[in-house]
């Protein structure tokens, strides 16, 4: 194992994150809030990381895929530790709670342990949203451009180890150029979202925080009742649109920048929009028939809820936990889906369901016609067996992870609905679930040990299982 290379990369990320977190201090200065402890903390992190980097400055960075897998796992643990400290310093919570909140922020899960976020100062509210911002772009994608300073050609393995999606699609000659382009698209959507929210009446602070949460599909809000607080239809409909856009493959947005709309014509995109519309209409009909509310309000809240849950954002425009069993079932189906591969959303991803469905159909055809050769095509391209096997493997690991978390929570004495929805909400990086972890509740009632275990579940979901579970393989360590 190349320990020196790993330490050098980790120290570089430590310096980068500490510098980015100085934005918290600027917010504290603007709102005249206490920041000295935060300043000293940032200086300490930067200094420690800088000393390690300085000691290894002549060490050549050469990351192979196994090194990268280990680095990515360590980075996500360190992010939780580094991101937790400001929360621990300035709010009356345990370190385990702060670690949970930080991991929830960086993984863009949006599950919170705070019972009253409106009681937090501007610095902490922005810190939570800033973690969403960094996690949404993909802390590794953000770091590719920085890492290229150390190693101009060797950051591809790190990107592969962290990036989401079924397969890696290289769009530009240099990986750092593609990372920069994605970064540009990501920030463009955030700026547009901020302007939209400000236009419909939010102040600049709330607009920035909610835009960070929306485009990262995170879900942290500056208000206890989330977007329901604002009682503004423009905000609800506008946020719905941006959540849907955030759930689209960012390479499709990138192609649009080059006047190429083919990314929006993919099979995954068509199924994504179809399922969104189908579930939205189904939820509208089921909820309207039961409650007999004004149709417009039911339609608005149903569409917003499906967009929020399906893209794993986790915002709430209404407390849906008291809706009918049929409505809850429809929302639960949305929890199972996720957005597109290459988006900021979590979950299984639509493309994997397409591959699973086509594989099942292929096996049916093989049963009826054993001598025929049936291949699986996505957007006209033949999919190799490695992708199909990987998809089934991921789905198995994902459901296994959900099952383990659910069984653990249930064994701790909580009801079945809370346990099952916690499993999906945590591993799927969704945030809210049902019952005790519904949209009007939070995760504060869990013990410190529970929060650490749930934090690991969020990391497993964010890194899409393989990157974490491979560390349990004896052969992985033997290779070193």
Model confidence over 374-397: pLDDT tens digits? 888 888 888 888 888 888 999 999
Q: Say what percent of the chain tops pLDDT 70.
A: 90
Residues 312 and 464: their CA atoms lie apart, in Å, by: 14
Question: Given pLDDT bands bounded at 50, 70 and 90, which one contains residue 262?
Answer: confident
DSSP 102-143: HHHHHTT------S-GGGS-HHHHHHHHHHHHHHHH-HHHHH
Residues 258 and 135: their CA atoms lie apart, in Å, by: 26
Cα angle at 200 between 196 and 204, to 5 degrees?
Answer: 70
* Residue burial 212-248, b: 16+ Cβ < 10 Å; e: rest: bbbbbbbbbbbebbbbbbbeeeebbebbbebbbbbbb
List phi, psi (to 5°) of 329.
-65, -40
- Asked if 218 contacts 132 with a C-beta cutoff of 8 angstroms, the reply is yes
Which H or E run contains 330?
Answer: helix 325-337
Q: Give domain status of residue 47, yes or no.
A: yes
Q: Give domain status of residue 301, yes or no.
A: no
124, 151, 141: which is closest to 8 by C-alpha? 151
Q: Give domain status of residue 213, yes or no.
A: yes
Max Cα distance, the chain (Å)? 75
- Asked if 161 contacts 147 with a C-beta cutoff of 8 angstroms, the reply is no
pLDDT of residue 82: 94
Q: What residues does 463 pair with on adjacent strands? A: none
- Asked if 174 contacts 183 with a C-beta cutoff of 8 angstroms, the reply is no
Q: Which residue has the higher pLDDT, 62 or 22?
A: 22
pLDDT of residue 154: 47
Strands 381-382 and 377-378: antiparallel
| Interval 277-313: pLDDT, tens | 999 999 999 877 655 568 888 999 999 999 999 999 9
Residues 193 and 467: their CA atoms lie apart, in Å, by: 32
Which H or E run contains 377?
Answer: strand 377-378
pLDDT of residue 327: 92
Q: Does residue 250 register a pLDDT over 50?
A: yes
What global pTM score does this model have?
0.92
Region of poorest pLDDT, from 4-8, 286-290, 405-409? 286-290
| Interval 96-131: pLDDT, tens | 999 999 999 999 999 999 999 999 999 999 999 999
Q: Say what percent of the chain tops pLDDT 90.
A: 59
Residues 107 and 95: their CA atoms lie apart, in Å, by: 18
pLDDT of residue 164: 47
| Interval 181-217: pLDDT, tens | 888 899 999 999 999 999 999 999 999 999 999 999 9
Q: Give domain status of residue 330, yes or no.
A: no
Residues 24 and 133: their CA atoms lie apart, in Å, by: 13
pLDDT of residue 480: 54
The residue-averaged pLDDT of 1-28 equals 89
| Interval 142-187: pLDDT, tens | 655 555 555 554 455 555 666 544 544 545 446 667 777 888 899 9
Ramachandran area for residue 115 (φ above 0: left; ψ -120 to 50: alpha; else beta): alpha
Residues 37 and 39: their CA atoms lie apart, in Å, by: 5
Q: Give domain status of residue 282, yes or no.
A: no
Residues 46 and 57: their CA atoms lie apart, in Å, by: 15
Q: Give domain status of residue 276, yes or no.
A: no
Structure tokens at 82: 């580094």
Q: Give domain status of residue 227, yes or no.
A: yes
Range of the domain at 61: 3-250
pLDDT of residue 284: 92
Task: Work out how many domains the chain is built from and give that number.
Answer: 1
Q: Does residue 406 register a pLDDT over 90?
A: yes
pLDDT of residue 155: 53
Residues 195 and 187: their CA atoms lie apart, in Å, by: 12
Q: Give domain status of residue 363, yes or no.
A: no
Q: Does residue 140 register a pLDDT over 70?
A: no
pLDDT of residue 172: 47
- Asked if 222 contacts 116 with a C-beta cutoff of 8 angstroms, the reply is no
- Asked if 455 contacts 100 with a C-beta cutoff of 8 angstroms, the reply is yes
Structure tokens at 246: 């955030």
The residue-averaged pLDDT of 11-20 equals 90
Instruction: Mention every residue, 6+ apart, whose C-beta is less than 8 A from residue 243.
Output: 214, 217, 307, 308, 311, 313, 315
Q: What is the mean pLDDT of the chain?
A: 88
């Amino acid at each position: 194992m190349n320990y020196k290379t790993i330490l050098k990369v980790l120290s570089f990320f430590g310096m980068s994150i500490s510098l980015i977190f100085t934005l918290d201090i600027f917010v504290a200065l603007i709102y005249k809030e206490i920041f000295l402890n935060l300043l000293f903390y940032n200086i300490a992190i930067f200094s420690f990381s800088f000393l390690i980097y300085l000691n290894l400055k002549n060490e050549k960075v050469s990351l192979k895929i196994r090194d990268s897998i280990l680095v990515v796992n360590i980075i996500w643990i360190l992010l939780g530790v580094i991101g937790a400290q400001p929360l621990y310093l300035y709010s009356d919570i345990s370190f385990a709670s702060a670690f949970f909140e930080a991991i929830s922020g960086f993984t863009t899960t949006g599950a919170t342990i705070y019972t009253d976020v409106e009681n937090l100062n501007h610095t902490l509210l922005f810190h939570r949203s800033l973690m969403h911002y960094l996690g949404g772009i993909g802390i590794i994608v953000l770091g590719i451009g920085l890492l290229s300073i150390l190693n101009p050609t060797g950051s591809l393995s790190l990107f592969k180890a962290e990036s989401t999606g079924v397969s890696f699609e290289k769009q530009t000659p240099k990986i750092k150029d593609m990372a920069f382009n994605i970064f540009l698209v990501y920030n463009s959507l955030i700026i547009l979202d901020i302007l939209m929210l400000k236009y419909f009446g939010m102040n600049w602070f709330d607009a920035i925080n909610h835009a960070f949460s929306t485009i990262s599909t995170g879900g942290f809000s500056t208000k206890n009742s989330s977007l329901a607080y604002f009682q503004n239809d423009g905000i609800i409909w506008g946020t719905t649109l941006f959540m849907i856009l955030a759930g689209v493959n960012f390479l499709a947005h990138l192609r649009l920048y080059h006047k190429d709309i083919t990314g929006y014509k993919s099979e995954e995109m068509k199924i994504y929009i179809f399922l969104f519309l189908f579930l939205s209409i189904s939820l509208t009909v089921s909820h309207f028939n039961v409650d007999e509310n004004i149709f417009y309000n039911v339609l608005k809240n149903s569409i917003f809820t499906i967009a929020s849950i399906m893209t794993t954002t986790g915002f709430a425009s209404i407390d849906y936990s008291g809706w009918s069993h049929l409505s809850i079932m429809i929302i639960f189906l949305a929890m199972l889906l996720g957005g597109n591969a290459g988006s900021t959303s979590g979950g299984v991803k639509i493309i994997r369901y397409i591959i699973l469905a086509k594989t099942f159909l292929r096996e049916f055809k093989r049963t009826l016609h054993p001598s025929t050769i049936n291949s699986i095509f996505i957007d006209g391209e033949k999919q190799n067996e490695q992708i199909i096997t990987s998809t089934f493997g991921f789905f198995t690991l994902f459901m296994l992870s959900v099952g383990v978390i659910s069984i653990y929570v249930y064994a701790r004495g909580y009801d079945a609905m809370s346990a099952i929805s916690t499993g999906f909400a945590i591993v799927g990086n969704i945030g809210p679930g049902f019952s005790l972890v519904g949209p009007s509740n939070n995760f504060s009632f869990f013990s410190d040990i529970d929060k650490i275990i749930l934090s690991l579940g969020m990391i497993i979901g964010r890194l899409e299982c393989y990157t974490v579970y491979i560390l349990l393989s004896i052969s992985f360590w033997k290779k070193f």
